[in-house]
A and B are shown apart, each in its own frame.
Chain A
Amino acid sequence: EVQLLESGGGLVQPGGSLRLSCAASGFTLSTYATSWVRQAPGKGLEWVSGISGSGDSTYYADSVKGRFTLSRDNSKNTLYLQMHSLRAEDTAVYYCAKDHTYNYATSGYYSDYWGQGTLVTVSS
């Protein structure tokens, strides 16, 4: 059974840093692309970042580029989202998702499994 378990959320001051983790089970991260999607309180879904199955390619939304870094530890089958220079507008529930593709090279991929999310609150 595929499962994704996010952790690492919490309260952080503006300008601070936080690292989110997403532990995967039931599949191997190196065989599928995975991504992070966030949802601000009362708002819609916003794609944040993705990494290919090979780990060679990472992608970021313009809103987080240069501040967030996506990485992976294959030995732990865990995905990480390192977030720096956090802003109030980064406050959201962050979901990790397994994408039904290896490297986003072919159109038509989709997120077939999602974690339950972890809440990040940026506030003084």
Chain B
Amino acid sequence: DIQMTQSPSSLSASVGDRVTMTCRASQSISTYLNWYQQRPGKAPELLIYAASSLRSGVPSRFSGSGSGTDFTLTISSLQPEDFATYYCQQTYTAPPITFGQGTRLDIK
């Protein structure tokens, strides 16, 4: 199975900051990489699919990039509602599907 590793596991930032988090695959997955946001006590929500395609309705301050094994999620100007945990997911292969372990974004 393809392993997904996210870094950092947690980070602290302030409203208005620009933040970047990374996701690395154990083998090349082209651009078959999705990002999800999960707020405390809530279900995950899709943010970005195919590495860089923003889901309809997701604010443009979110962006994704990368291909092969290395990917990034960037939030250009943090808003209070962005403090959450972010997961990457690879869908290069048929299931089993794998997620990264998550990056928790806290308020500094």
Measured as residues with beta carbon below 8 angstroms from the partner, the interface class of chain B is: 20 to 34
A50 and B55 contacting across the interface, CB-CB below 8 Å: no
Known: A45-B87, A95-B44, A114-B43. Is A108-B49 also a contact (CB below 8 A)? Answer: yes
B96 and A62 contacting across the interface, CB-CB below 8 Å: yes
Measured as residues with beta carbon below 8 angstroms from the partner, the interface class of chain A is: 20 to 34
Interfacial residues of chain B within 31-59, with CB under 8 A of chain A in the complex: 31-32, 34, 36, 38, 42-46, 49-50, 55
Number of cross-chain contacts by CB at 8 Å? 67
Interfacial residues of chain A within 59-82, with CB under 8 A of chain B in the complex: 59-62
- Provide the residues of chain B in CB contact with A121, threshold 8 Å: none
A83 to B84, CA, bound (A): 30
Q: Which of A46, A104, A108 contacts B95 (CB 8 A)?
A: A104
Q: Which of B11-19, B71-79, B97-105 contacts A (4 or more CB under 8 A)?
A: B97-105
A117 to B97, CA, bound (A): 19
Q: Is A47 an interface residue (CB 8 A)?
A: yes
A45 and B95 contacting across the interface, CB-CB below 8 Å: no
A9 to B30, CA, bound (A): 37
Nearest-Cβ distance from residue B9 to partner chain A, whole angstroms: 10
A5 to B105, CA, bound (A): 28
B95 and A110 contacting across the interface, CB-CB below 8 Å: no
- Provide the residues of chain A in CB contact with B91, threshold 8 Å: 107-110
Query: A-contacting residues of B (Cβ < 8 Å)?
Result: 30-32, 34, 36, 38, 42-46, 49-50, 55, 85, 87, 89, 91-102
